[in-house]
Structure 1
């Protein structure tokens, strides 16, 4: 007998019986046992191949791709490196500088500065300007602008990368949802179309069938238009974890049923974006109705323009979530390590730290991040690993918490998540897990009790 959670995945059916379905076992509230090997997987799930053709499945060596991109950056004459230690590096665009003025300069002043640096203005946002020189290095540009008493700060134009995917392997099941009590959490809420989650990333596949009706109006920072279509795949995968249409007999299920995803494209087809672009994307999302912002990207060099954008969002009471990074290092990654940002580490199907996940005192919480199936570009699906995949689980939970109580402050949303984590016998806070692994059911139950202390258990079933 098939349970009601069995789903058709294009040419595959996932067939589950009632007992083996992780969703149906009411006492399931922690990461599953070992499932990646086929023998163990067959005990919990049967996959019936309806058709041998599986060209819709993306199998991409993302680790190789990201290493290739890093090599290109390392060898490019227009890119400079900062060595934090023997392993971790950051990059910035040479002959460019990001300048924040105390007050926006006049056009005459901008033209004068451009002439003096033998360059031009290439972009601006409010009082933040990017200048590019034909002949002066970034160091020389910083020295030049530092002499201007109208400059609040000047810094290199740092390069941010998508948090590289550690592995790619298609799996015909979603261990991650029952591992964090997703369906039991749906007894409290399945989300609200009044609570929007922004995905500031490579964009989102706007025509993906499993994201149909789930996308809010977005923005393309790179092209300065309203077409944030994804030409990389990373942002689409993140969006699917949050909001892939549930109960539609198509593909995968997202953590939320109703929360809109706002796609904001700040990185190009190679998963690269400048600090200015990321900051502009954050500000755009904050100004256009985002309640939660997901940032599955990072750099090991802090940026003032990025920090100011994060503070701008936090001051608007937005919950900001960021991936901790995938280099198995204690080197703080930004924006995850910035004050007020929820820094997310990754765990596997056993609740163990993913071997690639960054660690340290800056880690706030952990979530599933190994072999996570989700949507991909061109209507496809892929299973990816990384803290980039862990972060949207937390963003989705934040969206569900605010769906129960939209008036809850961003600091209170964080409290609901960190107070109800799965500790698995660990002493928290912990450098690998932060305050523990998220538990949707417990977090939403606590939120509901705080919001509706009387009659909540009955009334919660009357709405979404």
Structure 2
């Protein structure tokens, strides 16, 4: 993948990935940061309500989760700047990559040396937990071993949620609630492609409601990384919401309409019921999706600390011609977030219904494009529907567009798909690429026109 974009700083492998899926609160703008363009905020008080479309304050929920992590005795934090942007990792765990797999006897020696045990393994990457040693103490030990390639914290990742003639679907909530699809010219785009079953989309998240009536016919093979089984049922709701933006069945007289009509969803559960997961689990989920045929992967999660184990998984997917899309983050900061800041990933910021920059959305050189992110109606766990806000909601719009592009022209490489998405975007803000809108708001119709050429 061409390295044209600045990489966001992110923590090492062991930090748990805090997926900003449901709610990152509105923090103060970064000190001395330039004033963002078109600052009129979305007025939540006039947001539409409906007895079966629940408006959830996902941003506040995300902020509460961060506060809980800050106070947890077994969680440590990394302070990235004076503004207070933080990443988190487990104090008594470590991620270690070996040059060659250790023998069982050697592994037992290591466990004895750290007074702990092996808790997870993905290929040559091992996660150890100690009963009495800190990460720093374990790092000193493992760094002394010649067979160790690298070691890093076990990072935590959080959701990035901030609570022909054009074809208009008949879904019951479409006309009243789904401002987001017309805003990116989806209806016109459907005249060129509505997707194909041969282009599966993987969602690395909290899983999916496996019996939701608006999703059940769109589900392909899935995987629960946390339980190491095939049942990625969603206990949080974030993954189900992301999945609905991409694939809630359109034109079925029910609920909401997703952007794709036929592409199967591969639900990969790497985030727990509280909405966060670890770098090793997210990396394992990415590799599983690649090995099982995913053509596009959505990552509505992030952390401010880069992780080697996560970056290796990103490069693995990129080398296998998979399009990678990630949310930029919901802290209104220019601090780079990972995996969005990796050059192989399309980084997505958020806009409001009036197409103004969403104040919660992270900004900076690593932002490639923006998509609707405020008050997005979609499916939710428990056979429900909910309106959420955040870059977690913006990213799946781009993921779905990538799936439509690969459906209309399967010969395109992942680099070519990325170039088309950026080239076809509607320029907003300052002329050309800027820190708030990137190259602009995605345009489904224009992108599919370019892809057909």
Which TM-score applies when normalising by structure 2?
0.86
Structure 1 190/36 Cα, relative in aligned 2: closer, same or farther at 3 Å?
farther
Indicate if the aligned counterparts of 1:34 and 1:350 stay in contact, CA closer than 8 A. Answer: no
What are the Cα deviations for residues 215-248 of structure 1, in whole angstroms up to 9, with x where unaligned?
Answer: 1110000011100000000000000000000000
Structure 1 105/192 Cα, relative in aligned 2: closer, same or farther at 3 Å?
same
Indicate if the aligned counterparts of 2:194 and 2:260 stay in contact, CA closer than 8 A. Answer: yes
SS at match of 1:262: strand
The residue that corresponds to 1:8 in the other structure is none
Select the residue among 120, 124, 128 that pairs with 1:127: 124
What are the Cα deviations for residues 102-149 of structure 1, in whole angstroms up to 9, with x where unaligned?
Answer: 111111111111011111111101000001111111011111111111
Supply the distance in 2 between the matched residues of 1:128 and 1:90 (Cα, whole angstroms). 21
Measured after TM superposition, the shift of residue 318 of structure 1 is 0.2
The residue that corresponds to 2:72 in the other structure is 76
Supply the distance in 1 between the matched residues of 2:311 and 2:137 (Cα, whole angstroms). 23
Structure 1 349/116 Cα, relative in aligned 2: closer, same or farther at 3 Å?
same
SS at match of 1:396: helix
Structure 1 40/101 Cα, relative in aligned 2: closer, same or farther at 3 Å?
closer
The residue that corresponds to 1:140 in the other structure is 137
2:63 maps to 1:67? yes
Supply the distance in 1 between the matched residues of 2:90 and 2:45 (Cα, whole angstroms). 46
Runs of 4+ residues deviating >4 angstroms: 33-41
Indicate if the aligned counterparts of 1:256 and 1:396 stay in contact, CA closer than 8 A. Answer: yes
Supply the distance in 1 between the matched residues of 2:432 and 2:412 (Cα, whole angstroms). 24
Mapping for residues 93-112 of structure 1, pairs under 5 Å: 93-112=90-109
Measured after TM superposition, the shift of residue 79 of structure 1 is 0.5
The residue that corresponds to 1:461 in the other structure is none
The residue that corresponds to 1:88 in the other structure is 85
Mapping for residues 246-257 of structure 1, pairs under 5 Å: 246-257=250-261
SS at match of 1:210: coil
Indicate if the aligned counterparts of 2:209 and 2:380 stay in contact, CA closer than 8 A. Answer: yes
Structure with larger RCO (C-alpha < 8 A, sep 6+): 2
Measured after TM superposition, the shift of residue 67 of structure 1 is 2.2
Supply the distance in 2 between the matched residues of 1:39 and 1:145 (Cα, whole angstroms). 56
Supply the distance in 1 between the matched residues of 2:442 and 2:95 (Cα, whole angstroms). 37
Indicate if the aligned counterparts of 1:34 and 1:40 stay in contact, CA closer than 8 A. Answer: no
Select the residue among 347, 361, 366 that pairs with 1:362: 366
Supply the distance in 1 between the matched residues of 2:47 and 2:298 (Cα, whole angstroms). 33
Q: How many residues align structurally?
A: 403
What are the Cα deviations for residues 37-92 of structure 1, in whole angstroms up to 9, with x where unaligned?
Answer: 99999xxxxx9x8xxxx2x3334332332222112111111111101123200100
What are the Cα deviations for residues 242-299 of structure 1, in whole angstroms up to 9, with x where unaligned?
Answer: 0000000000000000011110000101101011111111111111111000000000
Of 191-200 and 419-428, the range deviating more from structure 2: 419-428
The residue that corresponds to 1:176 in the other structure is 180
Measured after TM superposition, the shift of residue 183 of structure 1 is 1.0
Q: Structure 2: give runs of 5+ residues left out of the alignment.
A: 1-39, 164-172
Which TM-score applies when normalising by structure 1?
0.84
RMSD: 2.0
Mapping for residues 188-267 of structure 1, pairs under 5 Å: 188-267=192-271
The residue that corresponds to 1:353 in the other structure is 357
2:111 maps to 1:114? yes
Measured after TM superposition, the shift of residue 413 of structure 1 is 0.1
Structure 1 425/336 Cα, relative in aligned 2: closer, same or farther at 3 Å?
closer
What are the Cα deviations for residues 365-410 of structure 1, in whole angstroms up to 9, with x where unaligned?
Answer: 1111111100000110001110000000000000000001112100
What are the Cα deviations for residues 324-371 of structure 1, in whole angstroms up to 9, with x where unaligned?
Answer: 000000000000001210000001112211010000001111111111
2:273 maps to 1:269? yes
SS at match of 1:209: coil
